[in-house]
Structure 1
Amino acid sequence: MPSRHDIVTFHDPPVPPGASPWVDGAGPSPDVAVVAADPAWPDLFEEVAARVREALGWRALVVEHVGSTAVPGLPAKPVIDVDLVVADPADEASYVPALEARGFVLRVREPWWFEHRLLRGTSPTSHVHVFGPDSPEVVKHRIFRDWLRGNPDERERYAAAKLAASAASSAAGEHGMQYNARKEQVVRAIYARAFAATGLL
């Protein structure tokens, strides 16, 4: 279990010199379009989750719907975000080939950030974020999701930030990482209120 300090801290380690998080020439998505909430997103998550569980069996310790598509009524990029917890994300041989056999493709490898890996899926488009049992990011994602689900005013505040960031990034020809940066201040303010409400701050 991650510590309280790690949960409420935003860990942004720099990419080590000479390293890249992107696998085989991949890069940040140029698609920053945010669309209206789709009530089908939870069902699409279940499709992705079933493929992950079928691929990994008991090695999938947690398969959870996170991100904006997990919040009813929230506009989002139409990508299903999934947190997958495995015993050791660094042991790619224990899960990556099985997921690749189900159509997922490894796109990101970040050993310097809680051994995070990201695999992209299609039909539906999905991002499977792989972390270990001690990663605070999984707890963060769940708190943020549940806070937005339970607080309509925060959901609307975040929706406005997302739409504004999408419009600005689209106009500037920016990619997904820059879109995320444009809404980061609002995201962290929402996190702070959620952490305070839960007693973590």
Structure 2
Amino acid sequence: MPPPRRSDIATVELIGGIEKRELVLADPDPDWPRIFQIHEYRIRTALGSTAVSVEHIGSTAVPGLAAKPIIDILVLVHDITAEEDYLPPLVNAGYVVRVREPGHRLVRTPSLDTHVHILQVGDPAAADYLLLRDHLRTDEADRLLYERVKRDLLARSWEDMNAYADAKTEVIAAIKQRAREGRLQ
């Protein structure tokens, strides 16, 4: 793989600033995979071979798991610094840039119901997203634990969705550790 075209950005840019949003947990919806497929087609059409991989991640990718009704998608590109290869095509396809931070970009739908995370091939965060998704698909105890923690956290008030996401870090780390240990057995 060729080296990045330039150094990555060094700061976090949250376009539009902090947003106070009502966070709700929805029962599992059998339409979530179909909605992902619609976006996968839209993304692949916009990006062509720039999109090395397009994966459904997050809670809506786990059958039987209650989730915020937001479809999370992981797109891997060869060079995260080459924003000109993926951001304008995604914006032209109807997505809006929300986050630009080192190693990660995020675009979303104007209706705020789909988040597209863009990472570079080989980024450990990509493997972590898939590890968590795949483990929760097969481990009922951890799936129930994760849902319980999310329900407890959503009973509180959050300044923005990022604060809520940060509050889940501890349980997610523990689940990923169990998933890694399970792979070694």
What TM-score do you get using the length of structure 1 for normalisation?
0.82
Matches within 5 A, 1:2-81: 19-23=11-15, 25-28=16-19, 30-81=21-72
CA distance in 1, matches of 2:13, 2:177: 28
| 1:81 partner letter | D
Report the more deviating stretch, 31-40 or 57-66: 31-40
Given that residues 119 and 126 in structure 2 are in contact (C-alpha distance below 8 angstroms), is that contact kept between their aligned partners in structure 1? Answer: yes
Given that residues 28 and 177 in structure 1 are in contact (C-alpha distance below 8 angstroms), is that contact kept between their aligned partners in structure 2? Answer: no
TM-aligned CA deviation for residue 122 of structure 1: 4.3
Structure 2 residues without counterparts, runs of 5 or longer = 2-9
Given that residues 44 and 124 in structure 1 are in contact (C-alpha distance below 8 angstroms), is that contact kept between their aligned partners in structure 2? Answer: no
- Change in 2 beyond 3 A, CA 1:95/1:157: same
CA-to-partner distance for each residue in 1:141-192, whole Å, 9 max, x for gaps? 1111010000111111111011111112xxx353212212332221111111
CA-to-partner distance for each residue in 1:50-70, whole Å, 9 max, x for gaps? 100000111110000000000
Matches within 5 A, 1:156-195: 156-168=144-156, 172-195=157-180
CA distance in 1, matches of 2:36, 2:112: 8
User: CA RMSD, aligned part only?
Assistant: 2.1
Question: Of 129, 139, 142, which residue of structure 1 is paired with 2:117?
Answer: 129
Given that residues 20 and 158 in structure 2 are in contact (C-alpha distance below 8 angstroms), is that contact kept between their aligned partners in structure 1? Answer: no
Q: Secondary structure at the match of 1:164?
A: helix
Q: Secondary structure at the match of 1:95?
A: helix
What TM-score do you get using the length of structure 2 for normalisation?
0.89
CA distance in 2, matches of 1:153, 1:179: 22
Aligned residues: 178
Report the more deviating stretch, 122-131 or 77-86: 122-131
Q: Secondary structure at the match of 1:85?
A: strand
What's the % identity of the aligned pairs? 38
Given that residues 14 and 98 in structure 2 are in contact (C-alpha distance below 8 angstroms), is that contact kept between their aligned partners in structure 1? Answer: yes
Given that residues 28 and 176 in structure 1 are in contact (C-alpha distance below 8 angstroms), is that contact kept between their aligned partners in structure 2? Answer: yes
After TM superposition, the runs of 4+ consecutive aligned structure 1 residues lying more than 6 A away are: none
Structure 1 residues without counterparts, runs of 5 or longer = 2-15
